Structure 1
């Protein structure tokens, strides 16, 4: 059975999927939506957290004692206006999000980790070396003729490890069709605006066609 959920924009934090759901064993995924000047506080506990700014901007205050990172997260109005700013937060670290004048929408990804990494806030287009994080994050854009622009460099976007995909369309009526290859065969999936799709370990997903200009956020663990 193919596993997807549709996200309905809601103020505050919405948990969409966690380990034990939709065939996943490691990844947590949710979306934080804050109105102007609203705040959100959380703790990473036993996970590494990545905050991916989908739209708007905020002031981000991470950590205490020696492992701190304070700055602005977010440089685009929506996912179709440039690359994401991403913050990485190590385990057992506090973080506070203070939305600025436009408000902010952030994808929140978590994976189990006890690595002693540094808290960091990246500007749009900046990346970490793979050995500095337990999360692999890519953004893909695709259009009506199925042309795809992807930071991962391929139409087939998941092999050998579980993954989560967030899908958006410039026109909310858009739809994309994917082949999902599993150990038991191949199935076809239609994904719509704000669908979150989970791909269990050893499965892969390949874009076949898109009706409308689309965006995809792709997250995998890198343990």
Structure 2
């Protein structure tokens, strides 16, 4: 399983390579125990999944996918340069992975959005893991420092609140933030969904000016506006 620091180094290598990526997307799944025996690649449960732990006998390592756009010859040349920089096991593909464009959380989970400068993304993921006491699924744009993560919906609201406090304490010094974008009702009613908002006074003033009667989505905006 890749560590957040290893991902950080890979992203830096991609951005420094000069290939001009259109996107650099990250998928860090939760490690799962290896099966007791290998499963053939033709088995229905793993078909089209040659990297599945049951087929390879290795834990899922996560994926870092770089999107290159342009003419065929230009893209081919840049892809070759990038794979040379990254080395094995980097490979060139012509189709997006199954997880591309999908969130890492399921209905009922507590979904988080983390935004932080690229160079500090690994610190944010480490902080989330430490606060949660275990790895959590993380997916999103490693090239912009904006990712989503999922906490189990069964976590008590007080536990979610403590995780948010710990993560935000790390992010605040790095000009980052962590917001709750979806959560079970009990969690939404208990935790601070937005965290610290330095611009809240200006937002409050603008809301009062544009919506003096508080009719537009009352209580649904940052800070309960």
TM-score by length of 1: 0.28
What's the TM-score once normalised by structure 2's chain length?
Answer: 0.27
Q: Which structure carries more strand by proportion?
A: 1
Report the structure, 1 or 2, having the larger helix content. 2
